[in-house]
Amino acid sequence: MDNLQLLIDAPVFTLQLLIDGLLAGAIFALAAYGMALVWGVMNIINITQGEFVILGGFVTLYLSYLGIHPLWGVPVSALALFIVGWGVYRLVIFRIVDRDLFISILATFGISILLQQLMNQLFGADIQNADPNLGTLFLFNDDVAIANIKFVALAVTIVTGVLLILFLRKSRIGQAIRATAQSARAARLMGINTDRVYATTYALNAALCGATGSLVVMTWVIHPFIGLIYTVRSFMIVIVAGLGNLAGVVVAGLGLGAAENFAGFLLGTEFQAAFVFSLLVIILVWRNYRLGKKRQYLK
Amino acid sequence: MNNTLKLVLAVGLGILILAAPLLFPTYQTQLAVLWLMVLLALTWDIMGGQMGYNSFGNIVYFGVGMYTTAVVQRGLFFNVEEYTNLAGGTESQLSLLDYLLSLGLGLASGALLCIVLAVVLGAGILGLRGHYFAICTLGLGIAAGEIASGWDYLGAGSGLVTPLFPETFFNRGIFFYYYFLILAAVSFVVLRYLYSERFGLAINAVRDDEDKAESMGLYTTRYKTIAWSVSALFLALAGGAYGNLIGFIDPMDVAFAGPTLGVWMVLMAILGGKGTLWGPVIGATIFHITQELFWTYLLGWQRVALGLLIIIIVVFFPRGILGWIREQWPERFGQRVEGEEQR
Amino acid sequence: MYKLTKNITLSVVTSLLTLGLVGNASAKVEGDTIVLGAAVSLTGKYTTAGHHTQRGYDLAVSRVNSKGGVTVGGKNYRLKVIYYDDESTPARGAQLAERLIKQDGVKFMLGPYSSGLTKAMAPITEKHKVPMVEGNGASRSLFNKGYRYLFAVLSTSEQYLQEAVNLAAQHAKAMGKSPSSVKVAVAVENDPFSLDIRAGVLDDAKRHGMKVVVDDKLPRELSDMSATLTKVKALKPDILVVSGHSKGASLITRQAAAMRVKVPMLAITHCESAKVTDNKKFGTKAEGTLCATQWAPTMTYRDPWFGSAGDYAKDFKAAYGYVPPYQAAESTASVLVWVNALQNANSFDTEKVRDALSATKLQTFYGNVKFDATGKNIAKPMVLRQVQGGKYVVVAPAKWASHKLVHPRP
């Protein structure tokens, strides 16, 4: 509780934890968009999420080796991962689209092991980062320090979110995606090529992960085996926000980022992850308990 | 196939299984782990296969059982905290009697604790359905591992070293081979009995349509809790012994090994055919052997091979080997195919 | 079910047969080749360090072979290492040790990377009475278990950063303050090695009566230290100790600069493997950081195989394209200790070789090697280097110091 006292004595650090956490959450939310999309439209839980993020990070990293500013990595990684995602769909995912959700978890888990190992062979297992050299924002006599890249990340998340909503509402393929999400069968009857819709959705998800990875490699560090935490976070965010609710995803993402930061500060970093996962269990049980009173359950 | 041949084969196999650690002394540990794998797949299938509740969190009981056993083993003779703080206590060899006594007591307490835990956790979590259940148990598994790796009393991230096995007239490999063999056999017999009883029908009813089962007057919650407790019991007994077999308990990699053992138990059950009694046994055997071969011959690439194997299993054999055989030759499973004469 | 039983029977029988046919071939000495066994991390979180370890072993083996090999009983033998991948997990490590010893018949073992894996393997080698010389398991809890067949060429991990705490105490004294006024912050990864470093630092802090204000265990999947660093900024310690393999070194170097954490003394491990002095990656952010190291190419030890420490660094660079971190050097040294012990024992009897190992008195390019009764090397000190002007310079202990400590760091 000493730590809590510390926050009460010096509220400026509360501000630091809050801002920093919220902005970190924005990065998590970006990958969570994709997961919500794939889950909602294709009924697939994509465990490969984290590996796509790391792969996006490596694309940006290699771009920066070529002397190009890593910020360009955001669109480039997105594009590269779009292609990767399309390929993964054509190779594996299309076989499991209309299967049990559980099958998708295991199949994508297999892909994620495979990708981890391939990245290890291709890029090596070193810890990597690409410094965008954007500097840091200091407030209150340096007591609040926020890396500027995190503000960029927030902007990217918001802009991407808006573009995504516009895309789903206005464009032909976006409308097809929404139609397929509502009823794949009806969509097929209406002449929509659902296979293409699924491929696009999955590739779009990979692209979102690629952009996330680009931000991750500029903000923190990456290596081939660190993807799982991004999968799990996307998962948490989508669970809390519910499917098909992009604004909810942003809020849940920001909330998760802040919650992690405060948990790490107050309980010590060793219990940061324990707190987050216990929270997941409690949220689910609690939501189900509330529904249970109405003789319903989480669907 | 006539009955004599069958009998000869069955007896031969039985003898082979019983004599395996003596015939192949160099493979004792791998063979012991084989039975562990069988057990993991069998216990996962109670919930996942027979009841339709896909759990990713069964590893919790494995880990809790492992830690409880180790703490009791240490605690009977020494101060546990002295052991887990980093200076460490000196290792002293327990006598065989002390070792077996403490191991037995540890396993019993682990099993008891896990049953209680299953009932308590089950009260909250078993109300969830479908993939929400899967996700919740996944969270539970990771949370348990994280808590264990933050807890100083248990050695936190440094892990806990279990007492050395006193090598007297029988060695560690043989001891644990027969331990896991008996445990797997007992769990097989128990499950076979349970599945043939009302319990089996009830949990199958839960899998097929839980709402209907409930409206027919089944106490679904009670059956679900029993099913989870049975898995918990066997997993605790397995975990406690596995900790002793490995000799060093790492919170994330040995005890709460979700990404390895936790996922493998699901894969093995699916590979063999979930919802069948023999499926997990076959699946575990094949999976374990394949993995050992990969690991020996594909140095550095074995995980690529493993990833590919997982994809192939779930994409092409989602019903598992037994399920596939059943589709090919349904008549051998007592299902009659229309237009075919009864044999 | 009848046919089914047959199928099952067949599958089990065939599988058991396959198991029986695999391996079983080699023994400890094949013709004129001495076989050493090692589990290294080629996949998983320790992959980078695992490669350093393997390359260290390989370089030693090829050098010893090209210089005529090992002479035992008047005959020259070549060296060979059987490798397996432990996937950076202790459960695999333990099984691998068993496989190496029982299936491959290895009688002479080399260590894996990291304390956790060594902890998992040591009980197995001990049980089979197979000596293991290791250079990458530093946790002191390895050396109070009474293991007779475990020998470590490196300094144990609680010594890594103790020197830094002592420096902080000296500095406080020089400034006319009591060492007990020094505030210590510790943030280490939650694994056996780093927790041992923490134990060493906490012991020394206690001895000086210092106050430990931050004591965080960082998660293994660490990617962000900002919560801990915020605490550090709030509590303003005089010394911050961080250990988390190369990931931890990389993160603290970046984030301490990015958040302007003004701590007068920052002491970390694994600077070399994280390449914190790499100008392209970190700029000058690592300036003034204290780095614990087992070995540095500037040290003055020599041996007949590689020449000086500097020569070793040059040869390693020629072979693998980078300056060897100490993880590679200590691995190489482990092989050299084996060569020396085998020649002194003049026999392949494991008990004789074990006794020769425990009587080792040797200088290698890596440092002096002499084991105490518990098997740890007591002849070699840890060195503390500081990043000054983008270069590592030795600042402590006094015997090796080439430069003065810059305090507080810029």
Co-location of A61 and A73 in the same domain: yes
Which residue in B has a C-alpha nearest to residue A110's C-alpha? B307
Structural domains in chain A (count):
2
Mutate one of C42, C43, C55, C226 to test the A interface: name it (highest A CB count within 10 A).
C226
- In angstroms, the separation between the Cα of residue A17 and the nearest Cα of chain C is 7
Co-location of C315 and C241 in the same domain: no
Q: Give the pLDDT confidence score for residue B89 in this predicted structure.
A: 53
| pLDDT above 80 for A297 | no
Q: What is the pLDDT of residues A145-168, one digit of tens each?
A: 888 888 999 999 999 999 999 999
Contacts of C230 in chain A (CB under 8 A): 13, 16-17, 20, 265
pLDDT band, residue B88 (cuts 50/70/90): low
Co-location of C255 and C304 in the same domain: no
Q: Give the pLDDT confidence score for residue C27 in this predicted structure.
A: 46
CA of C100: how far to CAs of A4, A45, C103, in Å?
A: 52, 40, 6
Q: Give the pLDDT confidence score for residue C17 in this predicted structure.
A: 44
Q: Give the pLDDT confidence score for residue C16 in this predicted structure.
A: 45
Co-location of C248 and C389 in the same domain: yes
Question: How many B×C Cβ pairs under 8 Å?
Answer: 177
Q: Does B300 touch chain C (CB under 8 A)?
A: yes
| pLDDT above 80 for B237 | yes
Co-location of C268 and C142 in the same domain: no
Co-location of C238 and C323 in the same domain: no
Which residue in A has a C-alpha nearest to residue C45's C-alpha? A225
Co-location of A165 and A153 in the same domain: yes
Co-location of C269 and C314 in the same domain: no
Q: Does B212 touch chain C (CB under 8 A)?
A: no
| Closest CB from C90, C191, C219 relative to B254 | C90
Residues of chain C with pLDDT under 70: 1-28
Residue C63 lies in a domain: yes
Which residue in C has a C-alpha nearest to residue A147's C-alpha? C258
Q: Give the pLDDT confidence score for residue C283 in this predicted structure.
A: 81
Q: Does B324 touch chain C (CB under 8 A)?
A: no
Which residue in C has a C-alpha nearest to residue A126's C-alpha? C48
Please judge whether A277 and B142 are an interchain contact, meaning their C-beta atoms are less than 8 angstroms apart.
Answer: yes
Q: Give the pLDDT confidence score for residue C19 in this predicted structure.
A: 44
Co-location of A11 and A80 in the same domain: yes
Please judge whether A10 and C48 are an interchain contact, meaning their C-beta atoms are less than 8 angstroms apart.
Answer: no
- In angstroms, the separation between the Cα of residue A64 and the nearest Cα of chain B is 28
Q: Which residues contact A55 (CB under 8 A, 6 or more apart)?
A: A81, A84, A115, A119, A209, A210, A213
Q: Give the pLDDT confidence score for residue B292 in this predicted structure.
A: 84
Co-location of A119 and A242 in the same domain: yes
At residue C132's C-alpha, the angle toward residues C333 and C67, to 5°, is 40
Spatial separation of the C-alpha atoms in residues C52 and C330, rounded to whole Å: 10
| Closest CB from B9, B161, B322 relative to C6 | B9
| Closest CB from B278, B285, B303 relative to C4 | B278
Spatial separation of the C-alpha atoms in residues C104 and C102, rounded to whole Å: 6
- Above pLDDT 70, what percent of chain B? 91
Convert C336-367 to b/e letters by CB count within 10 Å (16 or more is b).
Answer: bbbbbbbebbeebebeebbebbbebebbbbbb
Structural domain of residue C244, as residue ranges? 159-293+383-396
Contact predicate A173/A125, CB 8 Å: no
Please judge whether A261 and C226 are an interchain contact, meaning their C-beta atoms are less than 8 angstroms apart.
Answer: yes
At residue B54's C-alpha, the angle toward residues B52 and B57, to 5°, is 145
Co-location of A93 and A106 in the same domain: yes
Q: Give the pLDDT confidence score for residue C1 in this predicted structure.
A: 44
Mutate one of A95, A102, A287 to test the B interface: name it (highest B CB count within 10 A).
A102
Spatial separation of the C-alpha atoms in residues C94 and C117, rounded to whole Å: 8
Co-location of C127 and C63 in the same domain: yes
Reading the block at residue B217, the tokens are: 């007057």
Please judge whether C43 and A117 are an interchain contact, meaning their C-beta atoms are less than 8 angstroms apart.
Answer: yes
| pLDDT above 80 for B91 | no
Beta bridge partners of residue C394, listed in sequence order: C385
| Closest CB from B130, B306, B318 relative to A113 | B306
Mean pLDDT throughout A24-37?
Answer: 91
Chains with 3 or more CB pairs closer than 8 angstroms to A? B, C
Co-location of A203 and A113 in the same domain: yes
pLDDT band, residue B115 (cuts 50/70/90): very high
Mutate one of B86, B170, B289 to test the C interface: name it (highest C CB count within 10 A).
B86
* CA-based nearest residue to C210, from C235, C239, C189: C239
Mean pLDDT throughout A241-249?
Answer: 81
Q: What is the pLDDT of residues B32-67, one digit of tens each?
A: 999 999 999 999 999 988 998 888 889 999 999 999
Mutate one of A51, A221, A228, A262 to test the C interface: name it (highest C CB count within 10 A).
A221
Co-location of A188 and A298 in the same domain: no
Please judge whether C281 and A131 are an interchain contact, meaning their C-beta atoms are less than 8 angstroms apart.
Answer: yes
Structural domain of residue A41, as residue ranges? 2-267
| pLDDT above 70 for B272 | yes
Co-location of C139 and C237 in the same domain: no
- Above pLDDT 90, what percent of chain A? 36
Q: Does C22 touch chain B (CB under 8 A)?
A: yes
Co-location of C111 and C214 in the same domain: no
| pLDDT above 50 for B342 | no
Q: Does A32 touch chain B (CB under 8 A)?
A: no
Q: Give the pLDDT confidence score for residue B214 in this predicted structure.
A: 87
Structural domains in chain C (count):
2
Q: What is the pLDDT of residues B289-298, one digit of tens each?
A: 988 888 777 7
For residue C394, give the 3-state DSSP assignment.
Answer: strand
| Mean pLDDT for all residues in chain A | 88
Q: Does B167 touch chain C (CB under 8 A)?
A: yes
For residue A150, give the 3-state DSSP assignment.
Answer: helix
Alpha helices in C146-265, H assignment, sequence order: 162-174, 192-207, 226-235, 245-258
| pLDDT above 90 for B165 | no
Co-location of C273 and C355 in the same domain: no
Question: How many A×B Cβ pairs under 8 Å?
Answer: 129
| pLDDT above 80 for A263 | yes
* CATH number of the domain where residue C330 is located: 3.40.50.2300
Co-location of C346 and C218 in the same domain: no
Q: Give the pLDDT confidence score for residue B336 in this predicted structure.
A: 58
- In angstroms, the separation between the Cα of residue A262 and the nearest Cα of chain B is 17
Co-location of A282 and A142 in the same domain: no
Q: Give the pLDDT confidence score for residue A203 in this predicted structure.
A: 95
A264 vs B335, more confident? A264
| Mean pLDDT for all residues in chain B | 85
| pLDDT above 60 for B90 | no
Q: Does A183 touch chain B (CB under 8 A)?
A: no
Contact predicate A40/A239, CB 8 Å: no
| pLDDT above 90 for A59 | yes
Co-location of A292 and A260 in the same domain: no
Contacts of A92 in chain B (CB under 8 A): 311, 315
Reading the block at residue B283, the tokens are: 């699946």
Co-location of C118 and C196 in the same domain: no
Spatial separation of the C-alpha atoms in residues C321 and A116, rounded to whole Å: 25
Q: How many residues are present in chain A?
A: 299
Co-location of A140 and A279 in the same domain: no
Contact predicate A40/A245, CB 8 Å: no
Co-location of A163 and A274 in the same domain: no
Co-location of A276 and A213 in the same domain: no
